[in-house]
Amino acid sequence: MATFLGINLFGLFGQLLVGLINGSFYALLSLGLAIIFGLLKIINFAQGAMYMLGAFFAWMALHYMGINYWAALIVVPLAVGFIGVMMERYLLRPIANEDHLYSLLLTFGIALILQGAFTHMFGSSGMSYAIPEELKGGNRLPFMYLPNYRAWIIVASLIVCAGTWYMIEKTKLGAYLRAGTENPSMMQAFGINVPLIVTLTFGFGVGLAGFAGVMAAPVYSVSPDMGSNMLIVVFAIVVIGGMGSIGGAILTGLGMGVVEGLTKYFYPEASTTVIFAVMVIVLLTKPAGLFGKEA
């Protein structure tokens, strides 16, 4: 067995890989939350439910309509994004001028309803979704075995995260978004349809969760509570990274996945709490988060 300074490298790299996979999902979900929070100042508690919807839609598309994984990767995020658009337009917009607590409670309620509905329809034990044929198998690397599908998760989510970051930070559309976050009424005075941008942004942020759900279907069990389990950790990550920071959400998501993976190797008992411990330390030393701007 390969060891270095008494460390089992197979075990270490294996946990690092698991950490990166989890980190990829954390990054996608916290990115969506950060985008939505940045522009709408809404803390979207339904983000986990949208991730769960993404996984279930992929499963339903395959089993009821014969839509394969690759098509689902495109269609499902659009479908989930469309649900987000409807949600923003008809549920969140009417209460947009109320205290933010209202929208928070509304999204929380939506999450509970969706989770309940899917538990009622599919039970809570979870279903499996096969890894697509093209991504079966794996490669033996010097210190670990790397399954193709897991490598794909990391690469695909990095591409999506980087693309989203580029769109927001470097393009004209992103400049509208950033400026709309800062001063919506002035953007309206420039002739920009801010309510439309808000709706589409919400749809996009939610669509990212749908995308993460499709990606997750083959590696995690497709179950109604998959979103709520994930969401608590993702909220901790958003707090660590700093609310509303796009790059911060991505880096913190990946980083916390790795921290969690390493903890699983060195001190497994703490692996489920380490992120919350980090959150406490960050809140005590840098309350705005690692990448957040001090108010």
Partner 1 sequence: MSTVGDEKLRISDLHAFYGESHILHGIDMTVMQGELVTLLGRNGAGRSTTLRSIMNMVGKRTGSININGRETIDMPAHKIAHLGMGFCPEERAIFSSLNVEENLMLPPAVRSDGMSVEEIYEMFPNLYERRMSQGTRLSGGEQQMLALARILRTGANILLLDEITEGLAPVIVKTLGEVLLKLKERGLTILLVEQNFRFAAPIADRHYVMEHGHIVEEVHAHELEAKAEMLNTYLGV
Binding residues vs partner 1 (CB under 8 A):
172, 175-176, 178-179, 181-183, 185-194
Nearest approach in angstroms of CB 165 to partner 1 is: 14
Least separation in angstroms between residue 29's CB and partner 1 is 23
Which C-beta is closer to partner 1: that of 18 or that of 197?
197
Q: What single letter denotes the amino acid at residue 2?
A: A
Q: Which is nearer to partner 1, 120 or 170 (CB)?
A: 170
Cα(149)–Cα(127) distance, rounded to whole angstroms?
Answer: 18
* Distance from the Cα of residue 59 to its chain's centroid: 19
| 31/234 with CB nearer partner 1 | 31
CB 241 within 8 A of CB 252: yes
The three state secondary structure string of the chain is CCEECCEEHHHHHHHHHHHHHHHHHHHHHHHHHHHHHHHHCCCCCCHHHHHHHHHHHHHHHHHHHCCCHHHHHHHHHHHHHHHHHHHHHHHHHHHCCCCHHHHHHHHHHHHHHHHHHHHHHHCCCCECCCCCHHHCCEEEECCEEEEHHHHHHHHHHHHHHHHHHHHHHHCHHHHHHHHHHHCHHHHHHCCCCHHHHHHHHHHHHHHHHHHHHHHHCCCCCECCCHHHHHHHHHHHHHHHHCCCCHHHHHHHHHHHHHHHHHHHHHCHHHCCCHHHHHHHHHHHHCCCCCCCCCC
Smallest distance from partner 1 to CB 255, Å = 24
Q: How far is the CB of 187 from partner 1 (least distance, A)?
A: 8
Between 30 and 181, whose beta carbon lies closer to partner 1?
Answer: 181
How near is the Cβ of 184 to partner 1 at its closest, in Å?
10
Cβ proximity to partner 1: between 48 and 242 the closer is 242
For residue 147, report the phi and psi dihedrals to the nearest 5 degrees: -65, 140
Minimum distance between the CB of residue 94 and partner 1, rounded to whole angstroms?
Answer: 17
Q: Which is nearer to partner 1, 179 or 219 (CB)?
A: 179
Identify which of residues 62 and 246 has a Cβ nearer to partner 1 in the complex. 246
φ, ψ (nearest 5 deg) of residue 290: -60, -40
18 vs 177, beta carbon nearer partner 1:
177
Give the shortest CB-189-to-partner 1 separation in angstroms: 5
- Distance (Å, rounded) from C-alpha 241 to C-alpha 226? 23
Smallest gap from Cβ 35 to partner 1, in A, equals 14
